[in-house]
Amino acid sequence: MTDNLTKEKRSWNMSRIKGKNTKPELIVRSMLYSMGFRFRIHRKDLPGNPDVVLPKYKTVIFINGCFWHQHEKCRRANIPKTNKDYWIPKLKRVKERDKENYKALESAGWKVLVVWECMLKDIEELKIFLKNKLEVQKI
């Protein structure tokens, strides 16, 4: 039992590090699909390679890990006390790159939605969030 949990946690961490088709991404995708939204994934021709693209809604969604993308005021974004010199500049770069990507997308007419990993704790609330954000965007 303990072993299983560890293994699960390990693969979860691995998938997060690789950054594609992570568990949160799969959850959000299946949620959107069940809500009737149709989308494309990982469009390489868009800045930042958004996780989900909804052309009909002119909206892109990034599903961001709270730590890697430094979710403000989120306790999952706490930087480890050791190796701060390593983490702070590294995470700052990620955040800056995110900002640039979002700006580029917005100036191309896309609405950018960010779903934070911690928002997956409350699936019902996340559904409402997505529905509200997307409905106003429908072309």
Residues in contact with Zn ion by CB under 5 A are: 66, 71, 74, 76, 116, 118
3-state class (DSSP) for residue 1: coil
Nearer to Zn ion (CB atom), residue 30 or residue 78? 78
Toward Zn ion, which CB reaches closer, 57 or 130?
130
| Least distance between Zn ion and beta carbon 2 (Å) | 27
Closest CA to 42 of 31, 29, 32, 30: 29
Of the pair 104, 126, the CB lying nearest Zn ion is at 126
Q: Of 28, 16, 24, give the one whose Cα is nearest residue 130.
A: 28
Q: Is 135 left (phi over 0), alpha (psi -120 to 50) or beta?
A: alpha
What are the backbone dihedrals phi and psi of residue 123, each rounded to the nearest 5 degrees, phi first?
-60, -40
Smaller CB separation from Zn ion, 62 or 116: 116
Whole-number minimum distance, CB 69 to Zn ion, in Å?
A: 9
Minimum separation from the CB atom of position 74 to Zn ion (A): 3
Min dist. Cβ of residue 4 to Zn ion (A): 26
> What do you get for the CA distance between the two ends of the chain, in Å?
49
